[in-house]
Amino acid sequence: MKKSILALSIFSVMSTPILANEAVSAEEELAYSLGIQALIYGAGPLTVAAVRETSTSVDAPMNNAMAPINQMGKTRVLSGPQDRIVPTVNNDTLYSQAHYDLDQSGPIVLEVPPTNERYYIVQLLDAYSDSIEDLYQGNTGKQGAKVLLVKEGWNGTVPEGIDKVVESRTDNVWLIHRTGVSGDKDLPEALQVHDRFISYPVAELGKDHPPVELKAATSRIPPMAKPQGLEWFALIDRELRKNPIKEDAVIVDQFDYIGIGGESPFSAQDLSQEQQRGLRRALKSANQIIHYAGRDVGTTNNGWSMMFEGGRYGTDFLSRASINLRAAGLNVPERALYPNRYTDANGEQLSGQHSYKMVMPADAPADAFWSLTMYDAKNLFMVENEIDRYSISTNRKDELKYANDGSLPICIGYERPIDESCNWLPAPKDDFYLHIRLYEPTQAVLNNSYSMPQVIKQ
C-alpha cells in the first residue's frame, strides 16, 4: 500500500463536507491536515503504547500474560472469545509477553530453551510495531540460545555465554512469544517447554533462573483504555519523544505546528481554537481513512489480503496503521503470513446468514502448520459458539476430517452443516471476518504464486 500520506490528507480535506455558511480558516485546515498525518504516522506507536499500558498495569507477572515493565507474563491456556486485549489474537499457541524499557533496565537476556522440534517464535517489536528480529529454531539452533537485547549503539562488552546480540532502534521493546499447542491434550507437555522461555537483566547472567512464578489472574487481560478527544495527540507526542526515529524527522518535524514534538509536551490549551477544531475533525477522518485502507491491505490473492507488509513497514505508514487496526504485533511474512478477508468469492460481505465452503488443498503452503480462525467483522474478536471451536488448525489433526485426496473441506456458517464429512467452523449470526495463519509459509506463497482457496457461498 505505497500511497502518499500527504495526498491522502489533502484528499480527505477536499472530501470532508463543509456547510455552505461555515467559514473554515486556513489555520484550522492546516491543523486538520497535519492532524490526519500525525494520527496515521502515530497509529503504530499508539497501538504498542496502549497494549503496554494495559499489560504492565500489575505488580507481578500474571498467568494472563500481564507483567510489570521489564518482566514477562505468560498464558496457561489457549486464547478464546474472552481475550480482547488486541484484535485477532490466535487460538493456536500459548503466549508470553513482555514490555522492556532498555533505558531503564539496560541490556536484557532472553533465554530460548531446546524445544524438541515444537513450534515456537519469539517476536521482538520496536515502539512503532516494526519487527526488530524473530527468534526461532532457524537462528537459535535446536539446543536453544541466550540472546542479548540491547539499544542500538550500545558499546558495552558482550559477556561470555551470550550466543547472539539483537539491537533495537527504540528504548521500548515489545516481546511476543508463541509456543505451538496441538490441542488440549497436548497442553501439559507444551507448558513444560513454554515455561522455560525467560528473560532477565544481563547482571543476572550466570545465576540460576527457574520458570517465572506467575500469579493467578482473576480475568483475562482487560481491554485497552482509549484516550478521549485531543488526548490522542498527547499520547502520540509522548511516544515520539520517548522513542524518536532520526530518519523520520522530515515527517515528524512538521507536527510541531500542532504541538507534537516541540520544545514542550503537547498541551491542547497552548493551541488556538482553530487548531483544536482542526484536530478534532482529524480524529474522525483519520479513523475513517485507516478503516477504509484496512479492508484492502497490500496484495490480493483470490479475495485474501495477504499482508506481505507485516512487520516491515518502512515509510508505508498507512499500511502500518491499518494492519495494527486488525492485527497488532504482526510477524514478518517469512515466519508467519496472515491472509484474511471480509468477503466471499462474489465480493459480498461474509455473514452468518449464509453458509460457505472452503477447501484447503493437500499441498497447504505452510511448513510448520496452518489455521483458519473466525472473528466478528466489527471488533475482530472470537465469538462464542455451541461447540467451542474458534479455529480449524492442522496442529489439531485428531479434530479434522480429510478428504481422500488429502484436501481439507471446511464448512463455515452459523448453522451446523448437513454434510458431516465437512469440518465445521461456526460463525456468528451476523457479519464475520476470516484470518488464515500460515506458520513458516512456503516460498510459493511468499512469492504469491500459490493460489489461495476461495470462500464460496452455498
DSSP secondary structure string, 51-117?
HHHHHT-SSS-BTBS---TTSEEEBSS---TT--SSTT--SSEEEEEEEEEHHHH-SEEEEE---TT
Residue 168 has pLDDT above 60, yes or no: yes
The rounded distance, in Å, linking the Cα atoms of 263 and 255 is 12
Mean pLDDT of 25-40: 96
The rounded distance, in Å, linking the Cα atoms of 419 and 355 is 12
pLDDT band (50, 70, 90) for residue 324: confident
Mean pLDDT of 210-228: 82
**Three-class DSSP category at 334:** coil
pLDDT band (50, 70, 90) for residue 223: low
Beta bridge partners of 131: 125
Determine the distance from the C-alpha atom of residue 202 to the mean position of all C-alpha atoms in its chain, rounded to a whole number: 28
285, containing H or E segment: helix 273-294
Residue 341 has pLDDT above 50, yes or no: yes
Residue 1 has pLDDT above 80, yes or no: no
pLDDT of residue 3: 37
Length of the chain (residues): 458
Mean pLDDT of 85-109: 92
Mean pLDDT of 13-28: 63
Mean pLDDT of 38-44: 95
pLDDT of residue 307: 80
Residue 395 has pLDDT above 70, yes or no: yes
Residue 183 has pLDDT above 50, yes or no: yes
Sign of the alpha-carbon dihedral angle for 165, 166, 171, 174: negative
pLDDT of residue 46: 92
Check if the beta carbon of residue 251 is closer than 8 Å to that of residue 37.
Answer: yes
Mean pLDDT of 34-50: 94
Q: Provide DSSP, 113-160.
A: ---TT--EEEEEEETTS-EEEEE-HHHH-TT-EEEEEEETT---PPPT
| All residues at 6 or more sequence positions from 121 whose CB lies less than 8 Å from its CB, including other chains | 134, 135, 136, 177, 178, 331, 335, 336
The rounded distance, in Å, linking the Cα atoms of 432 and 376 is 4
pLDDT band (50, 70, 90) for residue 9: very low
Residue 29 has pLDDT above 90, yes or no: yes
The rounded distance, in Å, linking the Cα atoms of 206 and 161 is 8
| All residues at 6 or more sequence positions from 313 whose CB lies less than 8 Å from its CB, including other chains | 44, 128, 129, 130, 319, 320, 323
pLDDT of residue 86: 72
pLDDT band (50, 70, 90) for residue 10: very low
pLDDT band (50, 70, 90) for residue 147: very high
- Is 118 exposed, middle or buried, given 0-12, 13-18 or 19+ CB atoms closer than 10 A? middle
The rounded distance, in Å, linking the Cα atoms of 1 and 300 is 11
What average pLDDT does the chain have?
90
pLDDT of residue 4: 35
* H helix runs in 2-25, sequence order: 5-15
